[in-house]
Amino acid sequence: MDKVKSIKISGIPLPIYLGFTAITAVSIAMKWLPSGMIGALLVMMVFGGLFNIIGNNLPIVKTFLGGGAIVCIFASAALVYAGLIPTDVVENVDQFMNKTGFLNFYIAALITGSILGMDRTLLLKAAVRFLPVALCAMTVAILSVGAVGALVGYGFVDAIMYVAIPMMGGGMGAGVVPLSGMYAEALQTDKAAIISRMIPASTLGNVMAIVGAGLLAKLGEVKPSLTGNGRLMRNHNSDMNEKSNSAVTLEELGIGMITAMFFFLLGVIISKFVPAVHSYAWMIILVAISKACGIIPVKFEDSARQWSQFVMKTGPAHF
């Protein structure tokens, strides 16, 4: 019993968390769950946290299949498919994440904090080596998908447009939704039909990416010589999270939030003039350039990093 009480999910003891989950489930079944942000966040955080800890403790899943992330994907999909999650709750979560823009808010915090939290010298050295490799890898991947599409009769161009590029976009909010809109406008066709072609590839791509990351992590444990143990470059004293976690203040969280939103705004503005490149990409470029040039005050960098960590640890990251 003491061991059960010692288990915590998002800092909440397991018995209390299970009580929250039960009450939330009853509210869903009785259609008492509030609509809007409160209901959507509650569902994502309560069930996401529970599925996450289950996945991180399942013997084979946690080692080879990506742990909690993969369980969150399949468990939530199973609940929806089985009709255990009502349609109105699903639509509310979808509305909050995609149409209301919470996904943009979340991704902006992650991108800004992760880049501004890096060591400046490390960023400059890594970019020179990483970008050419990344561009070559993406080119080969896209052409390979097109070649397979041509071989199986799907079509070279269609495979690239509806399989490769949505996968590269990174999911619904960053890939499928904006791409479907651009395709529908350019091809003068129905956006819903395009989305239905993109979703299977994007979802499967995300799942395989999680599984692949889990397998690579296990390979790194078995063969330590193949991994940098958290370091981006060899013979460099800094890593992706080189700064110590100092005490967080409300002022820093506020500065970090505004900084992240401002960079996202700049990305959106530039994408209006160059729509071929997604606003996320412009945001990443702007943050990286700002970091490389050293024009962001240290306090703003630290605040963005603290805000990013706060969002990752407390937000509904698993949905």
pLDDT computed for residue 269 by the predictor: 92
Average pLDDT score over residue span 60-80? 79
Average pLDDT score over residue span 242-267? 81
Does the pLDDT at position 282 exceed 70? yes
Residues 252 and 181 in one domain: no
Q: Which of 188, 223, 238 is the last residue of a domain?
A: 238
Residues 182 and 229 in one domain: yes
Q: Which of 205, 220, 238 is the last residue of a domain?
A: 238
Say how far apart CA 69 and CA 66 lie, in whole Å. Answer: 6
CB 54, CB 68: distance < 8 Å: yes
pLDDT computed for residue 170 by the predictor: 60
More confident residue, 118 or 55: 55
Residues 247 and 189 in one domain: no
Query: What is the tens place of the pLDDT at every residue in 166-210?
Result: 887 666 655 666 677 667 767 777 767 777 778 787 778 877 887
Domain that holds residue 251: 101-117+243-319
Say how far apart CA 171 and CA 211 lie, in whole Å. Answer: 15
Query: What is the tens place of the pLDDT at every residue in 85-126?
Result: 888 998 898 888 877 778 788 888 888 888 888 777 766 676
Residues 254 and 265 in one domain: yes
Does the pLDDT at position 319 exceed 70? no
Using pLDDT thresholds of 50, 70 and 90, give the confidence band for residue 5.
Answer: low
Q: Return the structure tokens found at 255.
A: 């500065």
Residues 257 and 225 in one domain: no
CB 262, CB 286: distance < 8 Å: no
pLDDT computed for residue 239 by the predictor: 47
Number of domains comprising the chain: 3
Residues 172 and 270 in one domain: no
DSSP designation for 175: I
Residues 19 and 84 in one domain: yes
Q: What are the distances in angstroms from CA 258 to CA 107, 189, 265, 295?
A: 14, 38, 10, 16
H or E segment and range at residue 9: strand 8-9
What distance separates the 2 farthest-apart alpha carbons in the chain?
Answer: 62
Q: Cβ contacts of residue 67 below 8 Å, gap of 6+? A: 52, 55, 56, 58, 61, 214
CB 146, CB 160: distance < 8 Å: yes
What does pLDDT average to over the chain?
80
Average pLDDT score over residue span 213-217? 79
Q: What are the distances in angstroms from CA 7 to CA 22, 63, 171?
A: 17, 20, 32
Residues 11 and 24 in one domain: yes
pLDDT computed for residue 241 by the predictor: 47
Average pLDDT score over residue span 290-312? 86
Least confident of 33-47, 124-138, 181-195, 233-247: 233-247
DSSP designation for 242: -
Residues 148 and 211 in one domain: yes
Counting Cα atoms < 13 Å in the Cβ hemisphere of 110 gives 13
Average pLDDT score over residue span 75-82? 87
Q: Which of 238, 263, 280 is the last residue of a domain?
A: 238
Long-range contacts of 180-189 (CB under 8 A, 24+ apart): 182/275
Residue tagged 């495979």 (tokens): 159
Counting Cα atoms < 13 Å in the Cβ hemisphere of 193 gives 7
pTM, two decimals, is 0.67
Dihedral-angle region of residue 188 (phi above 0 means left; psi in -120 to 50 means alpha; beta otherwise)? left
Does the pLDDT at position 132 exceed 90? no
Residues 209 and 220 in one domain: yes
Residue tagged 């904006």 (tokens): 178
Using pLDDT thresholds of 50, 70 and 90, give the confidence band for residue 317.
Answer: very low
Residues 179 and 192 in one domain: yes
3-class state of residue 12 by DSSP: strand
pLDDT computed for residue 318 by the predictor: 45
Residues 307 and 262 in one domain: yes
Counting Cα atoms < 13 Å in the Cβ hemisphere of 61 gives 18
